[in-house]
Chains A and B, each alone.
Chain A
Amino acid sequence: MKKQEVPQDNENMLKGTEEIQYATDENGNYTQIFSKGWDIKNDILREAWNEVDENAKIALQKVISGEKSPIYFYMIKNIMDYKLLSQYAETFVFRVKNHCKPKFFKKLSNGKLQIYAEIFEISIEDLINPKTVESSIEKHTKN
């Protein structure tokens, strides 16, 4: 890759920093070049977050319809599965699965709710009342 070929497609994906790329100068010598981003990667990242949002929307519908508890929604929104969430909650997978069901969720103590709220980095109120899904990528790239 030549110096002038280093992509500078800035979509604020690297918010707060820039990325070092190695490229050759006019004499063929390697040099470090700062890159603000690359379309190929930007597209893939946007796609990945849109997929996360889509999954979160489906999960939210399941909460509204009474099929799943809010913990399920936040699990999906945080790109986790039962196994990963159980590791963060330091408990068994079957417990987490239960907590994702409304009838078990209703019985959870404040202490248990607090554990989940901390994992998802939200308040207990927000945990109990999940809001609409906003665009992740917009949130992640706005200044």
Chain B
Amino acid sequence: MADTINNKINFEHSMAAHCENGVTSNLIKFQGIKLSEAMIFGIGSGIFFSYLPFIKLNGIPVISFRPLPGTIFKRTAKRLGFKVTAKKFKNKDKGMSELDNLLEKGIPVGMVVGVFHLDYFPPAYRFHFNAHNIVVYGKENNEYLISDPVMINPEKLNYERLKKVRYAKGTYSPGGKMYYISEKTAEHDVKKAVIKGIKHTCSDMLTIPIPLFGVKGIKYFSKKVKNWEKNLGTKKAALYMAQAVRMQEEIGTGGAGFRFLYAAFLQEISIIFNNSKLAELSKLMTETGDKWREFAILAGRVSKKRSEMEEPYLKASEILLEIFEMEKNIFTRLNSVVKEL
């Protein structure tokens, strides 16, 4: 344990809507490439949908609008010509001393942490959520310097605290996972990276042959929601609704389960490629985002038992079915536009 090191890497902290985008964007910027959060998100194929009845969070099936934690970083860095290293450590102190070694070499390190014991994090959001990303960029007077993209300013954590959040337990426990850019393997080509990112996204959203993922997952979700009240009872169904909204609008989605963020990406690349079809798709994506917000408002009312609407679950299910049609249309069209780029 290198207790005495004092080492501050010249690292620029900037905020982002989503923690992993922010971490990726900041780590890539450290390598000299400045890209917006939306670009990072699009290149890293950050948009997704899955309904996972067999993975539970607070006893409720997971609805996710993103791929597994760590994938945006891995994909973006690779597509921009960097080699990344990701490691987990069973031994906690080893996990910490390896971090110290990297910091001494001047390497800023991304890591996955749980927020329950993350004491600078807004307390009202401190549940057992284990897929939060931060960068550690130095150590000063025995405290680690933290760049957390959802916080306005850089933060600090002491050794014990950082160890605790790196080894948070429960669903998706991070297990001390850390990652960093280890070398540059090729000159970066943003356009190429964008095309790769879009192709991957279209494939994820349209072609996974299990009906829980991509646009088919939204359809499945729609079907499930319709019967939630009947199958689960009013109280439990309300909790399910509340959790769906939390997953969709948790800190860092940029609103509407990342749909606005992806619309921002499509808009930015429509300029880069000088392609009006992409601008059109961006507009459609914004409409989808607005529809997701409509779902959240309804689900929020239902969860508070304040909906005056008749059969709110049926209505929620209908909204989701509409979203399914909209997103299917967008990604099918995007899939053909990308071939022209």
- Residues of chain A touching chain B, judged by Cβ–Cβ distance below 8 Å, are 1, 6, 12-24, 28-30, 32, 38-41, 43-45, 47-49, 78-80, 84, 87-88, 121, 137, 139-141
Contacts and interface: CB of A to CB of B under 8 A. Distances in A.
Contacts of B296: 40
Contact of B152 (A17, A39, A41, A48): A17
Interface of B: 15-17, 37-38, 58, 116-117, 120-128, 150-152, 169-170, 173, 242, 245-246, 249, 251-252, 254-256, 260-261, 263-264, 267-268, 282-283, 286, 289-290, 293, 296-297, 300, 303-304
Contact of A15 (B58, B123, B252): B123
Contacts of A21: 17, 254-255, 260
Given A39-B300, A43-B304, 11 more contacts: A1-B286, A6-B255, A13-B124, A15-B124, A23-B255, A24-B286, A40-B249, A41-B300, A47-B304, A88-B169, A137-B124
A30 B260 contact: yes
A140 B15 CA distance: 23
Contact of A45 (B121, B125, B255): B125
A44 to B, nearest CB: 5
A18 B16 CA distance: 11
Nearest to B151: A17
B122 A30 contact: no
A34 to B, nearest CB: 9
Contact of A22 (B261, B293, B303): B261
Interface of A is mostly: mixed
A49 B124 contact: yes
A44 B245 contact: yes
Contact of A141 (B124, B152, B255): B124
B237 to A, nearest CB: 14
B249 A41 contact: yes
Contacts of A6: 255
B178 to A, nearest CB: 20
A47 B303 contact: yes
B114 to A, nearest CB: 11
Contacts of B249: 38, 40-41
Q: Which 4 A-B pairs have the closest CB atoms?
A: A30-B264, A40-B300, A87-B169, A140-B123
Contacts of B283: 28
A22 B124 contact: no
A44 B263 contact: no
Contacts of B124: 12-15, 45, 49, 137, 140-141
Nearest to B279: A28
Contact of A17 (B122, B170, B256): B122
A30 B15 CA distance: 16
